[in-house]
Amino acid sequence: MKMIADLYVRVSTDEQADRGYSQRNQEEVLRKYCEINSIEIRDVIYEDHSAKTFNRPKWNKLLQNLKKHKNKIDLVLFTKWDRFSRNAGDAYQMINILR
């Protein structure tokens, strides 16, 4: 059975996209990963907020969709940990929520 993933692509407003973190670059990397690993992509979420907290509009919408579509999404993929969170404690709490 093929796994299904949402791709989370984030840049912050104070960050230069030309440092290799552009949304297009992140999406390309994630799409290649999914292709190599036979993972089906359900959605791509584009965020342009800081990762200092999880109080981000698109992240909150993603969480709502995950709750709504329980057992339909296997993975949330991102290119690097700092695309997910810059706060280790908050990241661990969010991982527990996602489980």
- Active site (annotated) includes residue 12: yes
**Residue recorded with tokens 């709504």:** 68
Residue 53, token pair as written in the block: 């907290």
By the 8 A CB rule, do 55 and 1 touch?
no
- Work out the number of other CB atoms within 10 angstroms of the CB of residue 39: 19
- Find the angle CA(58)-CA(88)-CA(59) to the nearest 5 degrees: 5
Give the active site residue among 12, 22, 38, 85.
Answer: 12
- Distance, in Å, from the CA atom of 78 to the CA atom of 46, rounded to the nearest integer, reads 11
Give me the active site residues, please: 12
